[in-house]
Amino acid sequence: MRILAVAACFVGMLAHAQVAPDSKGMVAALSRGMRLLAPAQFVLDHRVELALTPEQVPILESLVRAQADSMLVRVRRRVSTTPPSRTATEFMSWSGPINEQVIREAARLASDGQAQVQIDIARDRHVVGAVLTPDQLAILPRLESGDMMKLVRGSRMVGPLPAKGGVYFEFQVDNAVRQVPGNGGLTYPDRLRAARTEGEVLAQFVVDTAGVYEGGTFKVLKSSHELFTQAVRDALPLMRFTPAEAGGEKVRQLVQQPFTFSLSRDRLE
């Protein structure tokens, strides 16, 4: 589950943090994490960024209520199928025989229960996804990533911020970098378009306080074709962004952004 991955992230950060975790911040962060497990509510929370239509909102609001009810069903199901607590203490004792069969069965039941929860959430996401347009769906991964970074930042387990003029990570800023739509569009490589080849480039770069790409900071993290990589490299200097903000000031931010080349959408992102 996503929330379990977040918890693991917290543990790793805590081990290296120079600032003790704040309990109120942790509660707020975990609350945000739980909202990530409620697909319809997550989409409604980002209605502005997704530009939801008046027709979509009431449908999503009804899904929020339905998914809240289904979450209660899942919790009851997990409780009813969870092995008795005595089995946990039984095989975690410091002495005596090791009952491998009990351990394996308890682990199997726990794994099956967790898998079912993830399947249920995946179904909820697909129901919500059917309400959204392809353009809105394309924005969701970035919104999820942004919320995850806010979750981490909300826990207040992050170490000292960069020195003035330094480069911030997304989880260290109050408002992360956002690309301004309608400018600096990518050019689909003619050779790949003719071959009906689609792909994606995951790029890393720095956006400065003026909202423009900082030359020399481009790095490819993943690419499906070198021509797609070159197209992104050529387009970045022409793109404009909303600069990141931290503490009421504009700051430089390290950005990781996917650029998708899709023929089916007949557009680039």
What whole-number distance in Å separates Cα of residue 70 and Cα of residue 256? 35
Contact 102, 52 (CB under 8 A): no
Q: Could you tell me the pTM of the whole model?
A: 0.46
pLDDT digits (tens, 9 = 90+) for 15-61: 343 444 445 545 554 555 555 678 888 888 888 888 999 999 999 99
For the residues of 209-244, what is the DSSP string, one character each?
Answer: TTSSB-TT--EEEEES-HHHHHHHHHHGGG--EEPE
pLDDT of the chain along its 269 residues, tens only?
444 444 444 444 433 434 444 455 455 545 555 556 788 888 888 888 889 999 999 999 988 888 777 666 666 655 555 555 445 556 667 777 887 887 888 788 778 777 877 888 888 889 999 999 998 999 888 888 777 666 655 544 445 678 788 999 887 888 999 988 876 678 899 999 999 999 999 999 999 999 999 999 999 999 999 999 999 999 999 999 999 998 889 999 999 998 889 887 654 54
pLDDT score at 13: 41
Domains within the chain, CATH numbers bracketed: 2-144 (no CATH), 163-268 (3.30.2420.10)
pLDDT score at 239: 93
For the residues of 86-141, what is the DSSP string, one character each?
Answer: HHHHHHT-SSS---HHHHHHHHHHHHHHHHHHHHHHHHHHHHHHTTS-HHHHHHHH
pLDDT score at 160: 66
